[in-house]
Chains A and B, each alone.
Chain A
Amino acid sequence: MITIRNVTRRFGDFVAVNDVSLEVKAGEFITLLGPSGCGKTTLLRMLSGFESPDSGEIWIEGRDVTRLAPYRRNVNQVFQSYALFPHMTVRENIAFGLRMQKVPADEMRRRVAEAMDLVALGGYEDRLPHQLSGGQRQRVALARAIVPRPAVLLLDEPLSALDAKLRHQMQVELKRLQKRLGMTFVFVTHDQEEALTMSDRIAVFNRGRLEQLGPATEIYHRPGTAFVADFLGDANLLEAEWLAAEGDNVRVRLRGGLEIAVARAAWPGAATRAVVSVRPEKVCIAREPVAGAENGFQATITEEIFQGALDRLVVRTDAGTTFSVVVANESAMMEAFHEGERVWCGLHIDDLVVVPAA
């Protein structure tokens, strides 16, 4: 559906989008994820036609659109500010795209009504944008963009202006809508949770470069770089030094001194150093040795923060390596861990991700 080939965009000396290549399949929900300033909006604007690449090509529906004007592209955008036309009613806003396409009046009426149904805006036809709540405006912007039936819908942080509760609700609704329409969505956000909730695939960006592309679970469980591991969820990122091969495993020494085994296959080539990433929830903690974990060691709890459903701990191994740990508070019967307590930790080899050293 979309092919982005070696696209670069500079602003003066600054490279906002750096040699990005990306394929988006028809009907896919793809999310461009990354911290603020990493070039997501710039890339999206090159898809909508408001920016053009300095080099590289963009193809949409088998057509080279690299230099095509925005109004000649079969894509529509939901703007972060919504950009509703303040002098037009909800109905007129939604009908605008069809009016530009010179769609006959009765068809226009039908399709506008359909779109208003789809986003649950019935009864608000004659309101002006300033008479709507933030969530309702968001729905108008959405309806306005889908009603011309574009090949691709572009969404630039469309939920960022909503409060947390409404945002969660809209995430679910957006995903449902996309499935129902079978439309290709390119969604931009800096919120990793949002990306994980909605996307078929996530493209993680850092400083204008595409760091990793893959399904949410893969990006989360198998991050390819330290940046991705850190940006999606929490991670203990520990520099590791190769000590010796042990069958299918490698013995490594972590920063601080703890020695553990990681899978040989996970180790990046012939490097002598790498970074081991451990999710806090993957560190098993118990008052006796952890059964079934290939790596077991003793540690002391140095910090404990109670967060209702979760307990956040920081532990320090006897060797001197520290980990953040998250423990689910499954039962009130279970005695909580407390600061200064000696505990056993366990790490399963399968839960250890090794990424190249920076």
Chain B
Amino acid sequence: MPAANPTTHRRPSGLKLLQWGLGAWTAAVFVFLYLPILVLVAYSFNTSRLNVVWEGFTFRWYGELFGHGPLIKTLKNSLIIATLSTVFAVIIGTAGAWLLHRYRYRFARAIQTLIFIPMVMPEIVMGISLLVFFTTVQLDLGFVTAVIAHTTFCFPFVMLAVQARLQGLDPAMEEAALDLGASPWQAFWLVIVPCLRPAIISGALMAFTLSMDELIISIFTTDPASRTLPMQVFGMAKVGLNPMLNALSALFVLITIASVLFSEHLRRLASR
């Protein structure tokens, strides 16, 4: 057989077919994932109350949304709980990751596993166990219990992000700081934390999003005064679809996309 001419790049026809198939599959996945979201965003501007026919463009539902007392109140609750839980999750997750990385504990592996179990544990189980715990220690349900509960399921995510970053960190970095006279605490605060910042921020974004989104655990750990937004939305959606909820969802889609882009940007900054 003569040697193939190196200037021609014809692929075998089987490969071409496979490529076409994969392309179609990818397109289908994207349609299924994003079409409902697009429809939802579109209908949040629909004058019709029903998500069936397009009648005209309006900002009315956004107006109603911001005038809806319970929604705004629960949004505030959710923001408070998510912010506080994120702060605690960042502190616990970062410190935990550093301690496990830096100091050799006898049961490091067991500790690691125990910490990550909540990430895969069914939320209903976590909700019930937290409720039992709060009842046992006679802590009344409210903001405190909600923040404790949200911190519990959020911090492993921060920890995971930070641990991944620590793997790639030069061990001499801490030593250089200690060598120059920094105490272990100063070395951690002035050198290690700044090195971990991209991971901490992306972990924090994840924690915040997860907390804003949490429904089941919130049901078990809040009282009526600390009800969260997902609880309110769920309650309203049960009664019937409401264009206000479309508007709310559209806003959330916007925020989520922004935070994903932001954390992607950080990741790229970090890996330069």
Contact = CB atoms under 8 A, between A and B. Distances in A.
A83 B170 contact: yes
A86 B196 CA distance: 11
Contacts of A83: 170, 172-173, 175-176
B129 interface: no
Contacts, number: 62
Contacts of A50: 175, 178
Contact of B272 (A75, A130, A144): A130
Contacts of A81: 170, 172
Given A85-B173, A100-B186, A71 B178 contact: yes
Given A81-B170, A87-B194, A87-B195, A71 B175 contact: no
B180 interface: yes
A101 interface: yes
Contacts of A96: 177, 180, 182, 190
A71 B195 contact: no
Contact of B180 (A49, A69, A86, A144): A144
B191 interface: yes
Report the contact-size class of chain A (Cβ under 8 Å from the partner).
20 to 34
Contacts of A145: 179-180
B269 to A, nearest CB: 11
Contacts of B179: 48, 70-71, 75-77, 145
A144 B191 CA distance: 15
B181 interface: yes
B181 A101 contact: yes
Interface in B34-77: none
Interface string A54-91: 00000000000000011100011101110111110000
A101 B179 CA distance: 12
Report the contact-size class of chain B (Cβ under 8 Å from the partner).
20 to 34
Nearest to A95: B180
A158 B256 CA distance: 46
B135 interface: no
B180 A79 contact: no
Nearest to A77: B179
A100 B272 contact: no
Nearest to B272: A130
A186 to B, nearest CB: 14
A97 B272 CA distance: 27
Interface string B229-263: 00000000000000000000000000000000000
Residue of A70, A81, A87 ringed by the most chain B CB atoms within 10 A: A70
Contacts of B175: 48, 50, 70, 77, 79, 83
A204 B178 CA distance: 29
A81 B172 CA distance: 7
Nearest to A97: B180
A83 B176 CA distance: 6
B183 interface: yes
Given A79-B175, A83-B173, A85-B176, A100 B182 contact: yes
Given A83-B175, A85-B173, 6 more contacts: A76-B180, A79-B172, A79-B175, A97-B181, A100-B186, A101-B181
Interface of B: 170, 172-173, 175-184, 186, 190-191, 194-195, 197, 272
13 contacts: A48-B179, A49-B178, A69-B178, A70-B178, A70-B179, A71-B178, A76-B180, A79-B172, A81-B170, A85-B191, A96-B177, A96-B180, A97-B180
Interface of A: 48-50, 69-71, 75-77, 79-81, 83-87, 96-97, 100-101, 130, 144-145, 148
